[in-house]
Structure 1
Amino acid sequence: MPGATEGAIVAGIDGSPAARTAALWAADDASLRGLPLRLVHVYRVPVAKMPGVLPPEETIRVGFAHQGQEWIFQAREAILGRFPELPVESAVREWSAVPALIQESTTATMVVLGSRGLGGFTGPLIGSTAVSLARHGHCPIVVARGRRPDDPLPEDSRIVVGTDGSPTSEAALGFGFDEARLRDAGLTVVRTWSEVVDHGAVRPHLFDVDPAEIEAEERKSVEEQVAPWQDKYPDVPVEIVVRRGRPIRTLLEFGTRARLVVVGCRGRGGFEGMLLGSTSQALVTHSECPVAVIRPAVPVESGAVART
């Protein structure tokens, strides 16, 4: 991986307005954390099916690389205009976007992408790329999006974290508390429950359940989960919401008035499979604010082959 600084925040660049918005969000976060920002453009030279008609492959490669460098230059200028002291490094890489970003994630604090783009990051979290990054990435993935593609990102509202008590939601809580501290924001912790399903399984004695008892148990559970984080971050105002309903619908509702929604990539109950199907696609497609997908740290596989 060319010149990557350990712990940098990585932003994917493809020349689109959404990617520039994402890069500015990443720059803001890097500035708050005191970390460098790394701008990455990934391109792939298409296979020429009409030799003699198209330019030689090397000419196309040079053109793609030059265009990527130009897009990174434009993003860098916009970033330094707002954060003049921020260390910014860059890389233009010939590869496929998913493996390149997964490799970048092995040394990054987080990877930030726009909600839609023009080139290598087009539709980055809609479909197989979302699943790949969530399942195989080594750091948080943030999709910086607003209500509409060209809308500014929200800045003055609360951070929302979805939790179900699983280890992955514990990691999401830690990320949410840290972001709330950095951005001097309040934090809303959301837990949903169902009379039918309990942590992914149908409840026993289904027709004898007491909704008030279920809600009380869930509230006690989330309060116990949140308590150590409140001790660690005493200056972060915390609101706990326990609600009957579906997690995606609840998170989308809170996302209409949030500056960031944070979820784990998989859980044991209400948020299980968040990034493995239609629920994930609904969240990253329809959320009206940035979305952070968190997974517990995973070791880099030994013998992995580095590519540039």
Structure 2
Amino acid sequence: MSESPMAATDRVVVGVSGSPGSLAALGRAADEARLRGAELWPVVAWEAPEGDLAARRFPATSALLPEWERLARERLEGALRDVFGDAGAGLPGQALVVRGAPGPALVRIAGRGGDLLVIGAGGRGRLHRALWPSVSRYCLARAACPVLAVPPSPLHAALTAVHRRNVLRLRLDTRDLEREFEAVPPDAEGRRG
């Protein structure tokens, strides 16, 4: 009897940046790891703010590399705490902090035959897409293993709109919130608050 490709997956590698999309991807990756009996490998990739070339050219910049790595590690630990709480995922695996561009780092790490790469996708505006390369597109185009692109939560667009209104100091329309609270069943009243 031949084994299906899904049963052969022994690692689920997931890109983590701390963004809402990456947190959704981390949760989905944990679900996939449980379903497949695989290890969970959350990965945060980081680069020097001005790139590796600037870090090599300026000694003062290279002195900050350990600090940037520490911040990346804290971002990964925070994301794991946000998704799984203090108890952790309860899955075997290894959390990695890798220096390098996120797309190439994720593709390199998820290079084994039985790997599944999980990434957050979507939720980026036109300006953001024009200025920064898409990690999800890079991974989808270059990964040697299956890639699962997790779309953003439907709440992400609403939260982005509220954030944009706050930044622009525009008045928030609270009528939608009022309608939501009016729609809450009476027995849920005691649980709210």
Taking structure 2 as the reference length, the TM-score comes to 0.60
Counterpart amino acid of 1:218?
A: A
1:285 is matched with which residue: 120, 126, 141? Answer: 141
How far 1:197 sits from its partner (Å)?
4.7
Q: From 117, 142, 147, give the equivalent of 1:261.
A: 117
Q: Of the candidates 172, 196, 214, which is equivalent to residue 68 of structure 2? A: 214
Alignment partner of 1:195 is 2:48: yes
Equivalent runs, 1:65-76 vs 2, <5 Å: none
Separation of aligned partners in 2, 1:154 and 1:290: 13
Query: In 2 relative to 1, CA 239–163 (structure 1 residues): closer, same or farther, beyond 3 Å?
Result: same
| Matched residue SS, 1:252 | helix
Say whether residues 1:237 and 2:112 are aligned partners: no
Structure 2 matches for 1:13-52, cutoff 5 A? none
Alpha-carbon distance in structure 2 between the residues aligned to 1:277 and 1:214: 21
More helix by share: 2
Paired letter, 1:224: G
Percent identity (aligned): 34
- The aligned residue for residue 177 of structure 2 is none
Amino acid at match of 1:166: S
Aligned-partner Cα distance in 2 for 1:188–1:262: 10
Aligned to 1:102: none
**In the alignment, is the contact (CA less than 8 A) between 2:116 and 2:147 conserved in 1?**
yes
Residue from 14, 18, 29 that aligns with 1:176:
29
Cα distance in 1 for residues equivalent to 2:35 and 2:85:
15
The residue that corresponds to 2:186 in the other structure is none
Tell me which of 4, 10, 13 is aligned to 1:160. 13
> CA deviation digits over 1:238-276, x for unaligned, max 9?
3111111111111111221252111111579xxx75xx9
Hey, what's the Cα distance between the residues in 2 that align with 1:282 and 1:298? 24
- Whether the 8 Å CA contact 2:7–2:36 is kept in 1: the answer is no
Q: Structure 2: 5+ residue runs without aligned partners?
A: 52-57, 156-193
Extract unaligned runs of 5+ from structure 1. 1-81, 83-151, 199-205, 300-308
Change (3 A) 1:211 1:263: same
Total equivalences in the alignment? 141
In structure 2, relative to structure 1, the CA distance for the partners of 1:180 and 1:232 (3 Å cut) is farther
**Residue deviations 1:71-123 (CA, integer Å, cap 9, x gap):** xxxxxxxxxxx9xxxxxxxxxxxxxxxxxxxxxxxxxxxxxxxxxxxxxxxxx
CA contact (8 A) 2:9 2:36 kept: no
Highest RCO, 1 vs 2 (Cα 8 Å, sep ≥ 6): 2
d(CA) in 2 for partners of 1:292, 1:246: 19
Work out whether residues 167 and 267 of structure 1, in 8 Å CA contact, stay in contact via their aligned partners in 2.
no
1:249 maps to 2:91: no
Query: Shift in Å at residue 213 of structure 1?
Result: 0.8
Do the aligned partners of 1:153 and 1:259 also contact (CA within 8 Å) in 2? no
Cα distance in 1 for partners of 2:101, 2:66 equals: 17
TM-score (norm 1): 0.39
Matches within 5 A, 1:96-111: none
Q: Rg: which structure is higher?
A: 1
- The equivalent residue for 1:225 is 79
DSSP 3-state at the match of 1:237: coil
| Richer in strand (by share) | 1
Cα contact 1:262–1:293 (8 A) shared by 2: yes
Which residue in 1 is equivalent to 2:182? none
Task: Decide whether aligned partners of structure 1 residues 221 and 287 sit closer, same or farther in structure 2, where only a CA change above 3 A counts.
Answer: same
Alpha-carbon separation, structure 2, partners of 1:291 and 1:230: 26
